[in-house]
Structure 1
């Protein structure tokens, strides 16, 4: 009796249509320029893509640096102010913001508030090339 009931339930379940949920995509932003107005460029030729998670302690500042190739950052948590020494601009980025970093311009970032800043960073470089140059003191 139990096996007959089990077989009936199994048969019923197999006859039901599968309910599949379609994946959802939400565009978080579309960008054509860096945060200082430069056009976004990919390196010519072969490309190396590096993905990193960067944590900046609360109140800490990054040394003055620049990126010779395109870099993108997504602010997962915390708040960061990026100060560009070449343009004199200063912009604060909060959780959920995308930063399309300036190329070849000296800048620094400071973690604002009481929590660390966590960034998901994506670098596009020619293979074997670094994407951060620190300014000599």
Structure 2
């Protein structure tokens, strides 16, 4: 199963920063039961942040390079995501080279951080090795609000 955990890219600056969001719904199939009600596994919230960083690389390289996760330095979970939360991911490039990139980021709900991650290291690989470039371009258009998915 493939999870698309970004609904919209709200802003981005090439090779510097991205802001994206994911509106959650009780009808999604990843919720886990907890004593306080359903919660998203923290790994999926972290994945949403990593997907935002991957889109920053894709957009910045005109869809030629894709970020593949290698390592994460530090993650702090401050609270669980629950159905109805709008997750707002923000990622900043700490360093970037021809083969790797390192980003830091956070996920906020209602302006409060629920997860922070530092030292997200990614390998930069040719994007067409993983996805059809036309599909990637179409999805980028949708996420940037430029048109419907065909």
Length-normalised TM-score, structure 1: 0.25
Structure ID, larger Rg: 1
If asked which structure has higher relative contact order (CA below 8 Å, sep 6+), I would say 1
**Greater per-residue strand proportion:** 2
**Greater per-residue helix proportion:** 2
